Amino acid sequence: MKSDNKLRNSSIGQTNAQPLLEVEDLHVSFDVRGGEVQAVRGVNMVINKGEVVGIVGESGCGKSVTAQTLMRLIPSPPSRVKKGSIRFAGEDVLKKSEKEMQQLRGGRMGMIFQDPMTSLNPTMTVGRQITENLIRHRNMSMKEAHKRGVEMLNLVGIPLAETRMKQYPHEFSGGMRQRVMIAIALACDPELLIADEPTTALDVTIQAQILEVMKELRNRLNTSIMLITHDLGIVADVCDKVIVMYAGQVAETGTVHEIFNNPKHPYTQGLLESIPRLDDDKSQPLVPIPGTPPDLIKPPTGCAFAARCKYTMDICTRVDPGLFECSSTQSARCWLNHEMAKEVHA
């Protein structure tokens, strides 16, 4: 796992990294009774080739909506992209036709969802579900596709792959199904794998197995992974870069080391302080973040986190800080990073 660490660091140091996915000023809203929920409010992010980016945040922070918008999987209405652009390998995703999107999804973009029980078709054999994608996206013959399918099942650690190809999803356990999902998602060698809470529905011992599989795949195939999770432990384990989202915005971004060792946003700090660590002794009290996230039907003016923050200043309730650059790789949406704040509180 030492080598794993090296690999992780090297991909960050690259200044000439090639961006694979670029999201710029994305705004997504939902029309609901009584108004408009501004689920995503100006998100920017870049995922480079071969990078594992963790997106962390609480439910309703816009992380899943962002991911689903990337794949254009979110039904519209009620959702709509109000503003912004998404470029995947240089092409504008939002301008593509549904047919072109179908080519992209499952081909160059793979995806894994939270619930392995419902993301597989119960009436089709697992083999068919893997090969179908290969035949459609890679123009493979039935025979080639089958061979590749067996290969993929072996890759994700499913024993007796030949037999397993002929079985139906219900004959697989939860962890095995999630492996099948990964196998399907990776069969066409996608450049980007979007994993939305891939292990949340699984037990820890199974989660450990799946995380091992994902790490190995990244090292072997150099796939970019966008890993959406609420578990900071998983992020620390597998990610290179972290994007912390709060109330539909990026609160902080940085390398995994910056985020965990030197967080610049009070929300990130709060998240880290509010979870107990297995390797800590328990005398250290948990510091919860008080209150609840704002209702995005009426987002607050100023900083969205101001009402729950320990350090709220006068300016915070009035003006949204925007992202402050803290290093070449880290930025935080917080007024504390303004020079004047540093002076005042010095």
Partner 1 sequence: MSNLNVTKNNEEQHEAASNDRHQHLNLKPEDFRKIDTSGLNAEVISRESVSVWRDAMERVVSNKLAMICLFILLAITVMSFIGPYLTPYDYETNDLMNTNQPPSKEHWFGTDDLGRDMFERTWMGASISLRVGLFAALIDLVIGIIYGGIMGYFGGRVDEIMNRAAEILYSIPTLLIVILLVVVMEPSLFTIVLAIGITGWVNMAWIVRGQVMQLKNQEYVLASRSLGASASRIIFRHLIPNAMGPIIVTLTLTVPSAIFAEAFLSFLGLGVQSPAASWGTMIEDARSAMKVFPWRIFFPALFISLTMLAFNIFGDALRDAFDPKLKR
Partner 2 sequence: MSSSLNKNKPLIEVNNLSKLFRVGKGRTLKAVNDVSFFIREGETLGMVGESGCGKSTVGRTLLRLYEPSGGEVKFEGKDIYKLSPSEMKAIRRDMQMIFQDPYASLNPRLTVNDIIGEALDIHNLAKNRTERKARVAELLQLVGLNAEHANRYPHEFSGGQRQRIGIARALAVNPKFIVCDEPISALDVSIQAQVVNLLKELQRKMGLTYLFIAHDLSMVKYISDRVAVMYLGKLVELAESETLYDEPLHPYTRALLSAVPIPDPDSETQKRRIVIKGDLPSAIDPPSGCPFRTRCPLAKEVCAKEMPPLIEHRPGHYAACHFAGEPLPSQEGIVSAG
The residue ranges that bind partner 1 (CB under 8 A) are 15, 17, 19, 22, 34, 42, 44-46, 48, 241, 253-255, 290-292, 295, 297-298, 306-309, 311-317, 319, 322-325, 328-331, 335, 338, 340-341, 343-345
Measured distance CA(291)–CA(66) in Å, rounded: 24
DSSP class of residue 105?
A: B
Which residue lies nearer to partner 1 by CB, 237 or 240? 240
In the block, tokens 């025979």 appear at 143
Cα–Cα distance for residue pair 90/86, rounded to 1 Å:
9
Per DSSP, the three-state class of 248 is: coil
Residue 241 interacts with, from partner 2, partner 1, none (CB under 5-8 Å by kind): partner 1
Q: 175 contacts which partner out of partner 2, partner 1, none, CB within 5 to 8 A by kind?
A: partner 2
Among partner 1, partner 2, none, the one that 88 touches (CB under a kind-dependent 5 to 8 A) is: none
Please report, as a single letter, which amino acid is at residue 109. M
Nearest to 228 by CA among 239, 215, 213: 239
Q: Token pair of 116, please?
A: 């392995």
CB of 156 to partner 2, least distance (A): 9
Angle at which helices 142-155 and 174-187 cross, to 10°: 130
For the chain, how many residues are written?
A: 346
Q: How far is the CB of 225 from partner 2 (least distance, A)?
A: 16
Min dist. Cβ of residue 243 to partner 1 (A): 9
- Residue 17 Cβ vs partner 1, minimum distance, rounded to whole Å: 5
Q: Which residues contact 313 (CB under 8 A, 6 or more apart)?
A: 335, 336, 341
Which residues would be at the binding site for partner 2 (CB under 8 A)?
1-2, 4-5, 58-59, 157-159, 173-176, 203-209, 211-213, 230-237, 256-257, 260-261, 270-272, 274-279, 281-282, 285-290, 292-293
Nearer to partner 2 among residue 78 and residue 290 (C-beta): 290
